[in-house]
Amino acid sequence: MYKIKLSPFLRDLLTTSLTSFAVTISLIFVTGLLAKGLGPEEFGAYSLARRFIANVAPLILLSMGVSLRRYVAMCGQKSMQGTYIITSLVAIGCILFVFTGVSLIAGKQLCYIIFQDNAYLGLYYASLLFIGCYCLWVITSSSLFGMQKIKRVNLLQFIIGAVLPLSIAYLFAETKTAIDIIIFIGVSHLICLFVLIPEIMKTRGLSFRNIKKSFVTLFKYGIPRTPGDFAFAGLFSIGPFLAAHFGSLKDAGFFVIGQYVFRVMEAGITAFGQVALPKIAQLLSLGNDGYLKTNIENLMIMIFQLGLFVTIHTFLWVGEIVYIWLGSDYLEAVPIMKILILSVAPYLGYVMLRSVVDAIEVRAINTLNLFISLGFSVVISIGLQYYGLGMIGLAIGSSCGFALLGGLTASYLVRRYKISFKNFFILKIVLINILLALGVILFKEYLFCFLGRYGVMISWLFLEGFVVCLYLYYLYKNEAAWMLGIKRRMVRG
């Protein structure tokens, strides 16, 4: 007699994944509401502001998020966990103070560099406020993940990442400007203080010696990774910023729309890194290398087998998705999205594997890989721009950078753990994906003749649902290693 009983890891992963899924759905609707309500030009300015925030935040946080998750998890003393939180708050507060002062003094110059127009100075100042609020949220969520308080952090994530942005977009997209939207969403992160302050109040035995020790520990681990966070943000920003420089804010908005496919896909699997890094760190401290190798290999098999499927089927339907999601005004973004989609699988591989690398390796391996990929992306983007390829050239450059990043991350783990490709079933997986793609293409063209675009999208839900089930059944019958691993964690005799 068998019954379903999730292991603690799978239970935490499932709840966090469901929360991330809710955030993803919210992101889709928020983007649609803002794109239609603000219009292409103002939405382009909003998009550049979000990219500016994404680039600056890593320089202030100094990889504090991953550092806190790792060391709070490895620390058995609750008093020392609180010390880590207080140390991070003091350090980040000092950095924020200096950064804000410099940013205000050089406000006009920096605003022109970002938006190519000083008319957006108010949006620039609103972005600075957003950064400060966001840093508090990162410290709070990372600390809770490290302490294994999964339910609490998921509830916060649901409120801050899904409910509030959707409410703000619904209420103010058509009546407010990008400045107001940035301020409202930024300030909403301060709800985390209701959880962060009680956790700080639990700290006992706080001393200068412990603060100094935690400061050295966090920053010795985090600072070498900070350039990597900046480079990661740069991979997403180089395209929109160059689009604004060589084209217009409208072009930058189209490019950001093209990148949303990564945001949507990533949101569903970010949960793995948030839950897995503390777990892997604990396993590493216990010396379970053999167990780690098996699970890392299974993870890489899953990334390949599912990533290829997701890439192909997203590529096939992207035109219909954009039309339903944003309307005909944004169909110009479809060619950009199609090129970026080609690198979805390696990018998702990086998102899942980066936490594994950070957990098993003190050296900043991800930082090195990120800078190599960013440099490669910049060279190709600018080179193709001068060859006259315009936005398509920028999309090719970004896609090449993401593909290289995923490849470098995977190759590091393959070398370290001597992973064999025998269980990947590469030829079989490629062939079954080609057959399924051909079937979808033929069925899609047949439907389009009779149902039109909206009818095709409705049928898509049923068609893709059937194809997904068929593909997963094929993997299960061929004993895909990662599926058997999940089964062992779920089924108890």
**What residue type is 470 in one-letter code?**
L
Q: Which range has the worst mean pLDDT, 22-31, 166-175, 354-363, 427-436?
A: 354-363
- Between 240 and 108, residue with greater pLDDT: 108
20 pLDDT higher than 80: no
Name the residue ranges covered by the structural domains of the chain: 3-425+478-492
Q: Can you give the pLDDT at residue 452?
A: 58
How far apart, in whole angstroms, are the C-alpha atoms of residue 194 and residue 182?
22
Q: What distances in angstroms separate CA 378 from CA 42, 103, 395, 464, one per listed residue?
A: 26, 26, 11, 36
Which phi and psi (to 5°) does residue 3 adopt?
Answer: -140, 155
Give the DSSP H or E segment for 407.
helix 390-417
**How do residues 309-324 score in pLDDT, each as one tens digit?**
988 988 888 887 787 7
Other CB atoms within 10 Å distance of the CB of residue 396: 21
**What residue type is 119 in one-letter code?**
A
Helices (H) and strands (E) in the chain, counts: 19, 2
How far apart, in whole angstroms, are the C-alpha atoms of residue 213 and residue 87?
10
Check if the beta carbon of residue 247 is closer than 8 Å to that of residue 38.
no
Considering the chain, what is the average pLDDT of its residues?
Answer: 81
pLDDT class of 458 with cuts at 50, 70, 90: low
100 pLDDT higher than 50: yes
Q: Can you give the pLDDT at residue 105?
A: 92
How far apart, in whole angstroms, are the C-alpha atoms of residue 145 and residue 74?
12
Alpha-carbon dihedral sign for residues 398, 400, 403, 405: negative
**How do residues 416-435 score in pLDDT, each as one tens digit?**
888 888 878 889 999 999 99
216 CB burial (10 A radius; 0-12, 13-18, 19+): exposed
401 pLDDT higher than 90: yes
Check if the beta carbon of residue 86 is closer than 8 Å to that of residue 215.
no
Q: What is the mean pLDDT of residues 401-428?
A: 88
DSSP designation for 152: H
Q: Which range has the worst mean pLDDT, 66-70, 124-128, 379-383, 466-470?
A: 66-70
Q: What is the mean pLDDT of residues 88-112?
A: 90
pLDDT class of 68 with cuts at 50, 70, 90: confident
- Between 149 and 9, residue with greater pLDDT: 149
Q: Which range has the worst mean pLDDT, 258-262, 298-302, 425-429?
A: 258-262
Q: What distances in angstroms separate CA 290 from CA 8, 286, 356, one per listed residue?
A: 20, 11, 14
**How do residues 187-207 score in pLDDT, each as one tens digit?**
999 999 998 888 888 776 677
